[in-house]
């Protein structure tokens, strides 16, 4: 349950408006199995409240305190990512961006099913840009957000999905920058600069780090026949196509959740069906 009491500091109206927007977004997404379900909302004794279904701990908690940082297998990641992509696809089809996707905002039930939650930063694309920036948690912000873009779209959610996929496979976050500049530098060090420079929104500014144009992502997630004992996590060619498609620095070439779900990787192991 979420509760919000209007403050007397002048910001109460804005907080209540944001709270109402979250309620509206959840109600719009109602019925999808990969998004937490609202149960009731309203006002009582000067407080706004939102009651949701009980699911279980966050994915972050499971990764840290249940698996103790152990990697997920490719099959496990495929099953988890299908649910996450299906939930994001549903939101995007409704004209919504989540804008704060991360393991802390994903819940896990007793059967291992995932549900996206905390739509407090979600945004309707109906009115068009400019959108707020900065937004979301730095570790999951897309390169265009780190560069200050305000006319972004649902591809920012796709990037966050890619970061979570890498995190599930590796058992740790791929980037650790302590500022936007440092974080972007780590991204470009791994993925290279060629991609972002092809983006129509790139203004020619000097980029931090990333001296090489090409990507080293495949080195971090090699195919099985090139893996070393206790080396980096392995990933099939199909799985890497999804990962690298989500982690494109150029948002215009980045996979959407809908495009990712159509990829052969999600059909190879016949993952359990999720309503679209």
- Which residues are known catalytic residues? 100
CA 30/CA 33 separation, integer angstroms: 9
Two tokens at 211?
């001296």
Two tokens at 54?
């009980």
Cβ-based neighbours of 51, under 8 Å, separated by 6 or more: 1, 38, 39, 40, 41
Q: Which residue has the tokens 């780190």?
A: 146
| Nearest of 126, 60, 64 to residue 97 by alpha carbon | 126
CA 130/CA 152 separation, integer angstroms: 8
CA 105/CA 267 separation, integer angstroms: 26
Beta-carbon neighbour count of residue 21 at 10 Å? 16
């Amino acid at each position: 349950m979420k509760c919000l009491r209007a403050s007397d500091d002048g910001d109460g109206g804005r907080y209540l408006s944001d709270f109402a927007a979250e309620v509206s977004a959840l109600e719009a997404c109602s019925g999808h199995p990969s998004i937490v379900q609202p149960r009731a909302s309203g006002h009582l004794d000067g407080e706004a409240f939102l009651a949701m279904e009980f699911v279980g701990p966050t994915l972050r908690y499971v990764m840290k305190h249940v698996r103790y940082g152990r990697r997920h297998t490719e099959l496990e990641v495929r099953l988890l990512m299908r649910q996450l992509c299906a939930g994001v696809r549903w939101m995007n089809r409704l004209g919504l961006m989540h804008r704060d996707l991360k393991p802390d905002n994903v819940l896990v039930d007793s059967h291992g099913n995932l549900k996206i939650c905390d739509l407090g930063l979600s945004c309707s694309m109906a009115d068009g840009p400019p959108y707020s920036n900065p937004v979301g948690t730095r570790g999951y912000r897309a390169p265009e957000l780190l560069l200050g873009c305000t006319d972004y779209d649902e591809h920012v959610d796709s990037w966050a999905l890619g970061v979570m996929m890498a995190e599930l496979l590796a058992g740790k976050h791929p980037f650790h920058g302590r500022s936007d500049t440092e974080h972007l530098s780590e991204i470009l060090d791994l993925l290279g600069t060629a991609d972002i420079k092809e983006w129509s929104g790139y203004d020619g500014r000097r980029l931090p780090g990333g001296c090489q144009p090409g990507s080293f992502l495949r080195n971090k997630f090699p195919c099985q026949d090139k893996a070393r004992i206790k080396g980096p996590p392995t990933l099939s060619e199909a799985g890497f196509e999804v990962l690298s498609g989500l982690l494109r620095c150029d948002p215009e070439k980045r996979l959407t959740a809908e495009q990712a779900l159509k990829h052969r990787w999600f059909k190879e192991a016949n993952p359990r069906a999720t309503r679209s």
